[in-house]
Amino acid sequence: MARKVLAALIGNVLGIFSAAQPATQLTQPTTQLVWKQQVEREIRKHDSWVEGYIENDYTNKIEEGHVHLTNLPRKTIDLMAKFGVLGFTGAFNPENDHLLLPDISEKSDEVLDSIDHELWHSIFDSKGKRGLYYDEGFSRPILEEIVAFTKRKVESPEFEKLRDLMKRAEESERVMGFASNISVLIKEYTEQYQLFKKTNEYISENEELKPYISKESQRKIDFTRENVDKQWKPAIDYLLDTNRKLQDLKGRINEEMPLANLVETRKFFTDIYKNLETYEKLGEPIMQYRKTILAEYHSAERKEREEMIKKLQEDLDKLPEGEKLSDEEKEQIQEIIKSLDIDLPVFDAEEINFSLQRMTGGLSRTMRNVTTFSNTYKIDEILGNEDEVMARIVDSLYSLYFGEVTQNKFPLSRADLNFLDRFRMNDVPIFRKGVEKYLVGIELMKQGMSAKEIRGKLEYATSFTFDGREYSWPEANFRIQGTIPEEKIKSEEAQKN
């Protein structure tokens, strides 16, 4: 029950975050001061619109500006990982206008890099206290123009390779998910059958108790054993054969496999799942059989002890007068009889393990989670959502990205930069520094400078001279006061009240 509550709580919070980029490599732990300075630097490279828009004073509990920075606690990130949310780098929550960053115990370059991405989401935020895009002093392309622009961008030929790569990566991930879940199921089913075999071994080891079991009970035991064995024999043969095929396929599944082959493999796994689903309830007869055996043999053991006690008492009573026991010896004998007469409870660790397995396993539940995902979910989320495409464009702009199209970054054209120049506050371009740096970067690349060198020279530059022109890119006035507070996670009920 507690696990469900936690899952729901995390889901409430994560479900309203804008999509965040996945982390790839963690750096060494850093101090609060250094981390704060790094965050400041990332925000200061933007234009002056961030001043006052992103809160910088955390010495009190009053939330000012539109965006409020918070740290997501390590314990929450760990909990998220348990529910499959891995590599959290940052997210903007439009419900409360918080820009969440991971706890400083573990940081990565990608965490800082995600700030550019999330700042766009704060600009385009249409919920509650709406973002800069909706400010009356803000001039910008209308929503229909943004939709048309992002659609043209992602439908260009350079994105075809990304679409294919993402489809294959998603399909590969789904297929491997099937493979892993099926492996778990095969292991669980095999262990259940092993429990059946252990129970039969228990009967063999306690052959001396058979005389104390009634013929009717023995008949039921034999019937149940034969019935379970009859049901499980074809299942075990199928499981062993499936496992061999599965291990062979797992070794060949990767993102390089043609999409058609991956889809075919997934269909094969779907058929396996349907067959495995029919075995899901086969464990119950085994547990019922085991309970019956333990109960009958416990009762038989009790009868055996009663007979032993009775015989011992009779033997004592038949002792000749000269061999009568002393009072001390009688007391010792009675202690032995008492120890034999204790009715020990039936405790079955295997049954407890099985019950836990059923509670936490839920084979079909797990498998249905895999089968219900649409293969195009992530692709549409990224390439079919103007907000997400724009977030990646702004991120690419301020990261000075000139590489191939990837899931999180795109190279920009002069037409893209002209479009970005139309976003203005009081007729001042809010992306001026980014656009100018990127234009200079394009020219430097023509002269043979590498993308890495360009980024090193320009990303945090405050001035630059190129081709006879002097560029001035002063840092925004943004200094964090106090400590970035911890995000307070609220339950769904608390959020409603």
Give tens-digit pLDDT for 444-459. 999 999 999 999 999 9
Kindly state whether residues 129 and 169 are assigned to the same domain: no
User: Does residue 338 lie within any of the structural domains?
Assistant: no
Kindly state whether residues 3 and 111 are assigned to the same domain: yes
More confident residue, 396 or 63: 396
Confidence tier at 352 by pLDDT (50, 70, 90): very low
User: Does residue 471 lie within any of the structural domains?
Assistant: yes
Give tens-digit pLDDT for 407-437. 889 999 999 999 999 999 999 999 999 999 9
Kindly state whether residues 365 and 395 are assigned to the same domain: no
Give tens-digit pLDDT for 200-214. 888 888 888 888 888
Residues 6+ apart with CB under 8 A from 287: 195, 351, 354
Q: What angle do CA 39, 89, 486 make, to 5 degrees?
A: 65
Give the rounded percent of residues in the chain with a pLDDT score beyond 90. 30
User: Does residue 56 lie within any of the structural domains?
Assistant: yes
Q: Which of 1-5, 138-142, 301-305, 375-379 has the highest mean pLDDT?
A: 138-142
Kindly state whether residues 127 and 172 are assigned to the same domain: no
User: Does residue 295 lie within any of the structural domains?
Assistant: yes
d(CA 341, CA 343): 6
Domain that includes residue 266, residue range = 163-306+348-371
Kindly state whether residues 408 and 488 are assigned to the same domain: yes
pTM, full prediction: 0.60
Lowest mean pLDDT among 2-16, 121-135, 326-340, 442-456: 2-16
Helix (H, G, I), strand (E, B) or coil at 398: helix
Give tens-digit pLDDT for 296-341. 888 888 888 788 778 877 777 777 766 666 777 777 777 766 665 5
Kindly state whether residues 119 and 51 are assigned to the same domain: yes
Confidence tier at 3 by pLDDT (50, 70, 90): very low
Kindly state whether residues 263 and 355 are assigned to the same domain: yes
Kindly state whether residues 186 and 218 are assigned to the same domain: yes
Residues 6+ apart with CB under 8 A from 124: 131, 133, 387, 390, 391
User: Does residue 217 lie within any of the structural domains?
Assistant: yes
Q: How many domains does the chain have?
A: 2
Whether the CB-CB separation of 283 and 189 falls below 8 Å is answered with yes
Residues 6+ apart with CB under 8 A from 424: 138, 139, 140, 430
Kindly state whether residues 34 and 108 are assigned to the same domain: yes
Whether the CB-CB separation of 425 and 132 falls below 8 Å is answered with yes
Lowest mean pLDDT among 73-87, 191-205, 409-423, 469-483: 73-87
Average pLDDT rounded to a whole number, residues 62-66: 85
Kindly state whether residues 361 and 491 are assigned to the same domain: no
Whether the CB-CB separation of 172 and 253 falls below 8 Å is answered with yes
Q: Is the pLDDT of residue 491 over 60?
A: no
d(CA 399, CA 429): 18
Predicted pLDDT of residue 275: 75
Instruction: Name the one residue in this structure whose structure tokens are 């009715």.
Output: 343
Whether the CB-CB separation of 422 and 140 falls below 8 Å is answered with yes
Kindly state whether residues 174 and 135 are assigned to the same domain: no
User: Does residue 64 lie within any of the structural domains?
Assistant: yes
Kindly state whether residues 174 and 266 are assigned to the same domain: yes
Write the Ramachandran bin of 343: left for phi over 0, alpha for psi from -120 to 50, otherwise beta: beta
Predicted pLDDT of residue 126: 84
Q: Of 111, 100, 108, 91, nearest to 73 (Cα)?
A: 100
User: Does residue 328 lie within any of the structural domains?
Assistant: no
Predicted pLDDT of residue 427: 92
Residues 6+ apart with CB under 8 A from 180: none
Predicted pLDDT of residue 18: 42
